[in-house]
Amino acid sequence: MILFLVGCGGLNFSQVSPEAGNFHPKTIAILPATVGQYESARDIVDVAVSRSLTNRGWFDNVVDVTTIKTQTIRTPELANDLSSYIQRINTLGVSDSEMARRLHDRLKADALFLTYITSWGYGRIDGNKIGRVGLGLKLVDASKGTIIWKANHELTEDYLLLKPKLDHIADNVLEILLDEMPH
């Protein structure tokens, strides 16, 4: 059995704001992943992002998706702000500073972390069977609404008989992406 990872040479895309050098958040809130057609990956990726950011030790507090969902059940205003913020940043590609500040206050988080699942699953490339995971990430200064950093990357793993575990590929993608993230 031969395994092969494609795309390890660097990120597909990474952009850092000039304000990144002065941005050192203590608390980060991980917003629910935007999954598109990859709904089955939502929980796996949300947990992987939480675990990866917590294990890095960069933040005093990592507010995970489960905590945020619990808060939205108790606070309808937070649920509305969160939904509107994610919808606007996804639709317009820009962060709404007023909504970001409200999330900053309600979640008590210095930074907002958004995850986008851009590919997830098994398929074929040039006749080879592959497992593929692609993720996009955004780090937002919650007090200003400024997008501090955004990046995306995809890894594919060839296989013959045993399918690679997509959650393991996701962990590898996250490691590559987070190595580039300002903090």
Give 1-33 as a DSSP string: ---EEE-TTS-SEEEE-GGGGG---SEEEEPPP
- H or E element, residue 175: helix 166-178
Q: What is the mean pLDDT of the chain?
A: 93
pLDDT tens column, 132-173: 999 999 999 999 999 999 999 999 999 999 999 999 999 999
Domain-located, residue 100? yes
Domain-located, residue 33? yes
Say how many domains are in the chain. 1
Q: Report the percent of the chain where pLDDT is more than 90.
A: 91
Task: Read off the CATH number of the domain in which 174 is found.
Answer: 3.40.50.10610
Domain-located, residue 183? no
pLDDT of 138 reads: 98
> How many Å apart are CA 20 and CA 38, to the nearest integer?
31
Whether pLDDT at 9 is above 70: no
Residue ranges making up the domain that contains 161: 4-178
How far from the centroid of its chain's Cα atoms is residue 70's Cα? 19
Side chain identity, residue 14: S
pLDDT tens column, 30-76: 999 999 999 999 999 999 999 999 999 999 999 999 999 999 999 99
pTM, two decimals, is 0.92
pLDDT tens column, 11-23: 788 899 999 999 9
CA angle 179, 46, 109 (to 5 degrees): 75
Domain-located, residue 12? yes
